[in-house]
Structure 1
Amino acid sequence: MLHISKNKIQIREDYNKFKSVKFSSDDRRYNSFNKFVIALFIIVFIVLFLPWTQFVRGNGSITTLRPEQRPQSIQSAIPGRIEKWYIQEGDYVSKGDTIVHISEVKDAYFDPDLLARTQSQVKAKNFSFESYRNKVKALDYQIAALKEERDLKLEQAQNKLLQANLKVQSDSINFEAAKLQLSIAERQLNRNEILENEGLKAVTDVESKKVKYQESLAKIISQENKLLESKNEVLNAQIEITSIKAGYKDKIAKAESEQYTAKSDQANTESQLYKLENEFVNYSIRSGLNYIVAPQDGYINRARQQGVGETFKEGAEIVTIMPAEVELAVETFVAPIDLPLVHVGEEVRIIFDGWPFIFFSGWPNLSYGTFGGKIVAVERFISPNGKYRVLIAPDPKEPSWPEPIRAGTGARSFALLNNVPVWYELWRQINGFPPDYYQPDVETTKIKK
């Protein structure tokens, strides 16, 4: 005792007046209490060596196994104004049932005869397109006819040129023959004149030879003129061939130019036709979007838009629907430290919120109210909450899950691991060590998509 003060306590307290002192000072009770403590210590010591099943705890909620079976919001692809509701919250709808009727709010679609007018424009443009196509075909026929006519004219001109060449040859031969005859007549006249001077020929014979000479001279001049005319005809035939080629080339070029113009107009009209057809299809599809229908069988959960006459933008949520036929699953989250202990195909025990249960995590055989499941997927990227998402499906070997549970209900999962003594588990928990790492004996089943 520290001697802080020199003053000493003079008053002595009598502890025997307290009930607790009297109760504990009794020898019988003291012996009983010692036996109880010893028995309790023995029981605790025995419990420390009992087997304890390690587990990985996860918290989550009920979802669906397939993405298309999860609650979804029905959105409007176009802006509009609500005209009439055909459902109320909680109704069951089949696929294709009308949910709400909306009207247009953009002035470009106010015309009630928009589809009919657009279709008329499509028909008119299609007629114009057919006209240009027929014009192109007609110009094809015209060009072919011009080419055929050109070939015939050229063949005719070639024949005429050939005839002119043959005539030139003929006239040239006749001209040479006339020249020969003139030479013969000249020689005969000279001989007759000589003979006349010698008195051997009469004057009449000489005069006849002079007449024949003059006739030969006139004939050679005539044949020369014919030859020149034939050569002129050859030149005319050649000029005609050149003229035919130039004329028909101009005609064909003009027809081809008109054809190219018609093809350009045809392509332009075809582009406008496709644009009008695209607009007509878009208008037709858009008119069908004025009635929002159920994408699948299910129940209407909540109407996001209220009233009649309310306007909204494109992509706005109209209602939310829960599919009727679903395959339930548990979406739970485990800490990163426990991720190596979770494998696809392992069995898991599940506790649903609102369902009575008695659960002993270390002795699952003594538990009541838990349901079996199997891990079907483990997320490979961490979730925003800092944990990894694990998807658990019902175990077909276990009793089916309760019928009243719905998607969104809270659930706790316990993945059972190795069996260890209780003292080892307490030591692990005190030191903050993870459960024993292990690999399953049986290869995990690959889940097919």
Structure 2
Amino acid sequence: MLQISNEKIKEYELEKKLYSLKTLNTPRSGKILARWLIGIGLFGFVVLFLPWQQNIQGNGTVTALNPQDRPQTIQTAIPGKIEKWHIQEGQYVTKGDTILTISEIKDEYFDPQLLTRLQEQLQAKEQSIQATKEKVKALDNQIAALQQGLTYSLQKAQNKLKQAQYKLISDSTEYQAEIVQNDIALRRFAGAESLYKNGLISLTDFETRKLKRQEVSAKLISLENKVLASRNEVLNAKVELSSISAEYADKIAKSQSDKSSAVSYLADADAEYSKLRNKYASVEVRTTQRSIVAPQSGFVVKALKAGLGETIKENDPVVTIQPDKPMKAVELYVKAMDVPLLSKGRTVRLEFDGWPALQFSGWPSVAVGTFGGKIAVIDYVNSQAGTYRILVTPDPNDQPWPEQLRMGSGVYGWAMLNDVPIWYEIWRQLNGFPPNLQSAPTEGEQKSK
């Protein structure tokens, strides 16, 4: 061993002579283990090249596709006190069935004859409105009569004024003629007086002419008074014409003022009548709200208020109803980075709580106890913790979903993508990369999202 001599010792001779070397032989079990490890390694290496279907995983619950089929909480529209329960939890109710009866707790609705009282007020207000309309109509007729009377009175006064003016013209003409006659009489009297002084005429002729002058003078004075009287008549006719307009204007203004007051009262009465009608309708509807009825057929899940005599507020939840025969769906929540890879109509495998299943996410063909579905809705905004919700409906070409599924049951699902080697999927998972597609979603798929 130390290469001191040229003679070599054969190994098999040493093994025969030395017991310690005999005990150092490789055990048989170690060889078997080595063979198994090599086989497993070769098998694992081969498995790395097997196809694996990529998928996007998510958790969710069972729900209904249509919002109207989801569990519904019924609220009371008015505050009140519970008087009677008409149902039990778990009972099936049809649309319109009475669930709960409540009574009023507001003093303004305590009167059991409130609707009758409001109806009487409506009738009284309607009669008042009708009487006011008749008053307005009567005032319109009065105003029309006053305007017609004003026209007639003005025509009468104008005619009287014209007559006075014509009479004044006639008297003035006669007065002017008499002035001429008076001038003639004065000249004749002056000539007769000169002749009488000269002894050319007798005293009788002189006195005759003097008497004639006096008569003419007296008649002139009379005609002058007559002219003055005619002028006064004209002035009086003008004053009467003006007073008629003022008198009728005052009467018409008063009637119009009364009409305006009546119209204003009518408008207020109409507003009060409308308020009374609104209140009557509200009370009538409120009366029907004392009975809380089922909005649709379904099962009573849970009574949220208990006992009799309990006071409930407005919009308080009273009971929860699960609609009958909902169109079931599954809502799954997926990561934001996986949403661009999804599209409507893509296949999804589902595992429901309570249904035993053996599933291989990458090999759906060997999965047992899973159910098929298709994506129907993809939300446009995130839901919780940065995830996005998708709605999955049953796949008509796959096994039907269990009839015993209840709303809110847990679901685990995975949306199937493309086939890749297992080694690629392991590498992707170790690096935290998102799944990828061999080709991006088509334009139709993107629009359908």
Give me the TM-score of the superposition, normalised by structure 2: 0.87
- Counterparts in 2 of 1:206-355, with a 5 A limit? 206-355=206-355
- Deviations 1:53-76 (CA, angstroms, capped at 9, x unpaired): 111100000111121211111111
8 Å CA contact 1:53–1:362 kept in 2: the answer is yes
**Measured at CA, do residues 147 and 442 of structure 1 come closer, stay the same or move farther in structure 2, by a change above 3 Å?**
closer
Structure 1 residue 30: Cα displacement: 5.2
What secondary structure sits across from 1:443 in the alignment?
Answer: helix
Percent identity over the alignment is 48
Matched, 1:37 2:28: no
Letter in 2 for 1:25: P
Number of the residue aligned with 1:10: none
3-state SS in 1 of match to 2:434: coil
1:45-84 map, 5 Å: 45-84=45-84
Secondary structure at the residue paired with 1:376? strand
Q: Corresponding residue for 2:85? A: 85
Any conservation in 1 of the 2:375–2:392 contact (CA below 8 Å)? yes
Instruction: Give the paired residue count.
Output: 428
CA apart distance, 1:193: 5.5
Note closer, same or farther for the CA distance 1:369–1:440 as it changes in structure 2 (3 Å cut). farther
* 221 and 397 in structure 1: CA distance in 2 versus 1, 3 angstrom threshold: farther
CA distance in 1, matches of 2:75, 2:112: 24
For 2:173 and 2:357, how far apart are their aligned partners in 1? 135
Measured after TM superposition, the shift of residue 397 of structure 1 is 4.1
2:402 aligned partner, one-letter code: P
Tell me the residue number matched to 1:413: 413
Which amino acid is the alignment partner of residue 132 of structure 2?
Y
- The answer (yes or no) to whether the contact 1:345–1:445 under 8 Å persists in 2 is no
**Which residue identity is paired with 2:110?**
F
Write out per-residue CA displacement over residues 202-230 of structure 1, whole angstroms, 9 at most, x where no aligned residue: 66555544443333222211111111011
The question of whether the paired residues in 2 share the 8 Å contact of 1:59 and 1:411 is answered with yes
Within 2, Cα distance between the matches of 1:108 and 1:444? 60
Does structure 2 conserve the Cα–Cα contact (< 8 Å) formed by 1:132 and 1:262? Answer: yes
1:247-268 CA distance string (max 9 Å, x none): 2222222222222322333233
Superposed, 1:153-168 pairs within 5 Å as 153-168=153-168
Query: How far has the Cα of 1:295 moved from its partner?
Result: 0.9
The separation in 2 between residues aligned to 1:361 and 1:309, in whole angstroms, is 56
> Distance between the aligned counterparts of 2:188 and 2:220, measured in 1?
17
- Encode CA deviations 1:96-135: one digit per residue, 9 max, x unaligned: 2211111112222111111111221122122222222322
User: How far did 1:235 drift?
Assistant: 0.9
**Which residue number in structure 1 is paired with residue 9 of structure 2?**
none
Mean Cα deviation higher: 175-184 or 342-351: 342-351
Distance across 2 between alignment mates of 1:169 and 1:321: 105
Kindly provide the amino acid, as one letter, of the partner of residue 322 in structure 1: Q
Gaps of at least 5 residues in structure 2 are 1-19
Q: Please say if 1:106 is aligned against 2:134.
A: no
Local SS of the residue matching 1:402: coil
Shift in alpha-carbon separation, 1:269–1:34, aligned structure 2, 3 A: same
Q: CA–CA distance in 2 between the matches of 1:166 and 1:400?
A: 117
- Shift in alpha-carbon separation, 1:125–1:31, aligned structure 2, 3 A: same
Q: Which residue of 2 aligns with 1:7?
A: none
Q: Is the 8 A contact 2:341 2:441 kept in 1?
A: no
Root mean square deviation, CA, Å: 2.7
Q: Equivalent residue for 1:142?
A: 142
Does structure 1 residue 376 correspond to structure 2 residue 397? no
1:2-17 alignment runs, 5 A limit = none
Tell me the distance in 1 between the aligned counterparts of 2:279 and 2:231.
72
SS at match of 2:321: strand
Q: Could you tell me how far apart the structure 1 residues matched to 2:166 and 2:305 are?
A: 101
Q: What TM-score do you get using the length of structure 1 for normalisation?
A: 0.87
SS in 1 for 2:87: coil
- Matching of residues 433-444 of structure 1 within 5 Å: 433-436=433-436, 439-441=440-442, 443-444=444-445
Structure 1 residue matching 2:250: 3-state secondary structure: helix
Deviates more, 1:331-340 or 1:414-423: 331-340
CA contact (8 A) 2:95 2:294 kept: yes
Give the corresponding residue for 1:125. Answer: 125
Q: 1:400 to 1:220 in 2, by over 3 A?
A: farther
**Counterpart amino acid of 1:62?**
V
The whole-number CA distance in structure 2 between the counterparts of 1:397 and 1:354 is 23
| Cα gap change, 1:140 to 1:72, in 2 (>3 Å) | same
368-377 or 116-125, which deviates more: 368-377
Shift of 1:322: 1.1
User: Is this contact kept in 1: 2:377–2:391, CA < 8 A?
Assistant: yes
Q: Which deviations, in whole Å up to 9, do the C-alpha atoms of 1:388-422 show, x marking residues without a partner? A: 22222233444443322222121112111221111
Unaligned residue ranges in structure 1 (runs of 5+): 1-13
Q: Which amino acid aligns with 1:440?
A: P
8 Å Cα contact 1:376/1:447 also seen in 2: no
Relative to 1, partners in 2 of residues 1:112 and 1:311: Cα closer, same or farther, differing over 3 Å? same
